[in-house]
A = this chain, B = another copy of it.
Amino acid sequence: MTLSEPIAVLLLSCTDRPGLVSRISHFIFERGGNILDLDEHVDTEENMFFIRVSWSIGSFSIPTSELSEAFMSLAKEFDATWKIMIGNGKMRAALFVSRYDHCLQDILWRQSIGELAVDIPLIVSNHPDLEALAERYGIPYHYVPVNPETKKRAEQEQLDLLEKHDIDTVVLARYMQVLTPRFVEHFPSRIINIHHSFLPAFIGGNPYRQAFERGVKIIGATSHYVTEELDQGPIIEQDIIRISHKDTLRDLVRKGRDLERLVLARAVRLHSEHRILVNGKRTVIFD
């Protein structure tokens, strides 16, 4: 939905109990907001409550700058994990790449035509190859080489760049380096990776070769949040494409490229529109 009027989005999870929707929607109503979209989920097994609600704040009775503070007491009472996003603000995302250009190319193009609500202040890479592509879109490209000896220092350099540019989210657009736990903990549920397999099948390296050798009839791609364990983070989005015995390994790579860029783009869109809540090892997606 695209709206010209200013909106606010609340994303919240807490232990379930009666009255949560009533209290939250009343909070909005009594301040003059009109709910545009409300999605709610109760995980009855875990007794957890999840909500995403967006509302127009054109006639809101309190200044947006005081909104989060106003909501604070309710959130405390619920012992909730929450955030409120104001206006049509864009998320600040850094793209990490290596040598493959298809995901980078796709995200930059989508961003350029207004499909993604993100600002991309910088691109970071362990290879110099894709600088020309970055330049074409006018985005600074930081070449930070990484090898086993320099990894620690390189990650510190990356973290400094991210801090300096006030980056909220890191998108690994086929970045071929494994991030250390130390790096990951700076961006909990804010690093998005694309893995070129239908996870949890074919974890680790060379998933297309693994798929080819196993003789599967369908290949996939998976976008997930990065956690300390490789390829184990909460899954945001997956998709698949059918293959046959006629497809060589090269064909798998070719077909997979389309999957990877579509799946990653959808994950970035969902994340940037604040449509994802993490529920342990799983995600709640309010699409």
Interface residues of A (CB under 8 A from B): 1-3, 16-23, 25-26, 28-30, 32-45, 101-102, 105, 109, 113, 115, 136, 198-202, 213-218, 220, 234-240, 244-246, 248, 250, 254, 258, 262, 279, 281-285, 287
Contact = CB atoms under 8 A, between A and B. Distances in A.
Contacts of A101: 113
Nearest to A213: B281
Contacts of A3: 44
A245 B285 contact: yes
Contact of A18 (B29, B213, B239): B29
A133 to B, nearest CB: 10
Contacts of A42: 35-37
B240 A283 contact: no
- How many copies of this chain are found per oligomer? 4
A40 B38 contact: yes
A284 B244 CA distance: 8
B35 A40 contact: yes
B215 A281 contact: yes
Contacts of A109: 105
